[in-house]
Structure 1
Amino acid sequence: MSLLSSEFAMKDLGHLNYFLGIAVTRHKGGLFLSQRKYAEEIIDRAGMSSCKPSATPVEVKPKVSSPGSPCADPTLYQSLTRALQYLTFTRPDISYAVQHVCLYMHDPKESHMAALKRVVRYVQGTIDHDLHLYPSSVSSLVSYTDADWAGCPDTRRSTSGYCVYLGDNLISKSSKRQATLSKSSAEAEYRGVANVVSESCWLRNLLLELHCPIKKATLVYYDNVSVVYLSGNPVQHQRTKHIEMDILFVR
């Protein structure tokens, strides 16, 4: 704190309790980050305070497609979708479902609104679920990634996702539709791996600047044997050989 004060004009405001809609509760085991009040506001805005909770945030089959009747209130759809995006800061369990409904913000249909309401009903049933951060003696960075292949029924694009843990704590996650078409599941998976490797390298550099360097190689876990071979091919890494020293790929 004294070092920062010498560089910047700042004050010590004590322990963090509330920041940008996120309540912070300290306990012996670490920190509890909660957006319960914000989640309740979303449910109330949707007019679903007395709705029946859903056990899951998204249907496994069939996937939502674009055809259908237009949404009766697209403005409400867009407002709720943006609100749910911010809720994912402490609710990584809804990240995939939220990114899915975000894809149709420009022209929502009734089927998309039904999918969005399912997310809201899931939030209603899991209103106490939030994010814990624990003190950990483990200082390693571990990443996990996966991707489907041509999962979008409209564009046939794949969706890739990843999460990055520092010790026992989730510090970064993403669920996003890929920008281009993949000709195979291996290609879709490889794009997902490239994304999480980029994020892992950025986090390593950030921690280095914060004087908390990661001394061990970062493990990246994924489940496609073809990608293992691609990752071990020097031709694929000709321009990023410096990354290979800090990243290990594990199937």
Structure 2
Amino acid sequence: MDEMVLTGSSNAVLERIVDRLRAEFAIKDLGELHFFLGIDVKRTLTGFYLSQQQYADDILERAAMMNCRTASTPIDAKGKLSADGPPLEDAKTYRSITALLKRILRYVRGTSAMGPYIHGSRDLSITAYSNADWAGCPDTRRSTSGFCVFLGDALVSWSSKRQPTVSHSSAEAEYRAVINAAAECIWLR
């Protein structure tokens, strides 16, 4: 792992976590977080919300959509594109993709001031979900599998990648996805 961000409402708890990590792994504390996902993080959540809104406003300004109407969801049922559809150069596909991107930007416009919802939880149970397609890549016929792992209500790990070999059945593809999720849970535990 390259970098990991730890946050919490208690410095004492954070220090205990770092000490336990240090006991198991060779780690280097890089200090206070200054940038996250390209956003200049301020010392308060209000500052973080403002930075997030400024980031969203910058994207909307570049797309000339600062005054667009808002959308309540990032995508509608009709906005689904198929990987097996017509080539990208096709004008109809281009219009579909453009409409999809505009819909997402309209959603960003309506939600940019909301900020992330972060709350504490005493639930330390690990829950994982996995899924896979079967022979989803039309060129290699390899499956794509993914998983997400939650610690209580918090998403702490996720992955989505093409499987290294061709699966003989959908069940085999699903089993490989479950194995990857289980390995991640064991590592986290």
Which TM-score tier does this pair reach, normalised by the shorter chain?
A: 0.5 to 0.7
Aligned residue number for residue 176 of structure 2: 191
Structure 1: unaligned runs, 5 residues or longer: 72-108, 205-251
Structure 1 residue 178, shift from structure 2 partner: 3.3
> Residue 125 of structure 1 corresponds to which residue in structure 2?
107
Alignment-derived partner of residue 59 in structure 2 = 42
Matches within 5 A, 1:131-170: 131-153=116-138, 155-170=140-155
- Distance change in 2, residues 1:174/1:154 (3 Å): same
Against the structure 1 CA distance between its residues 144 and 18, is the aligned structure 2 distance closer, same or farther, given a 3 Å change threshold?
A: same
Q: Distance in 2 between matches of 1:182 and 1:33?
A: 47
Gaps of 5+ in 2: 1-10
Please point out which of 97, 101, 108 is paired with 1:115.
97
Shift of 1:63: 0.9
Any idea what the Cα deviations from partners look like across 1:82-113, whole Å, max 9, x if unmatched?
A: xxxxxxxxxxxxxxxxxxxxxxxxxxx98378
Segment drifting more, 149-158 vs 137-146? 149-158
Q: Is the 8 A contact 2:147 2:177 kept in 1?
A: yes
Question: 2:87 corresponds to which residue?
Answer: 68
The structure carrying a bigger strand percent of its residues is 1
Paired residue type of 2:161: K
Match of 2:75 in 1: 56
Q: Tell me, what secondary structure is at the counterpart of 1:183?
A: coil
Question: What secondary structure does 1:164 align onto?
Answer: strand
* 3-state SS of paired residue (2:117): strand
Change in 2 beyond 3 A, CA 1:181/1:36: farther
Deviation at 1:43, TM superposition (A): 3.5
Report the TM-score when normalising by structure 2. Answer: 0.56
Cα separation, partners in 2 of 1:178 and 1:114, compared to 1, 3 Å: farther
RMSD: 4.5
> What is the identity, as a one-letter code, of the residue corresponding to 1:168?
D
Partner SS, residue 131 of structure 2? strand
For 2:142 and 2:77, the matched residues in 1 are separated by 18
Greater alpha carbon shift after TM alignment, 187-196 vs 147-156: 147-156
Whichever residue aligns with residue 21 of structure 1, its letter is I
**TM-score, normalization by structure 1:** 0.45
Counting aligned pairs with the same residue, the percent is 39
For residues 118-165 of structure 1, the C-alpha deviation after alignment (integer angstroms, 9 at most, x for no partner) is 245224314346543321111121111112223345554433222111
- Structure 2: distance between partners of 1:180 and 1:113: 35
Question: 2:79, 2:96 within 8 Å by CA — same for their partners in 1?
Answer: no
SS in 2 for 1:163: strand
Aligned to 1:172, what secondary structure does the other structure show? Answer: strand
- Count how many residue pairs are aligned between Structure 1 and Structure 2: 160
> Secondary structure of 1:136's match?
coil
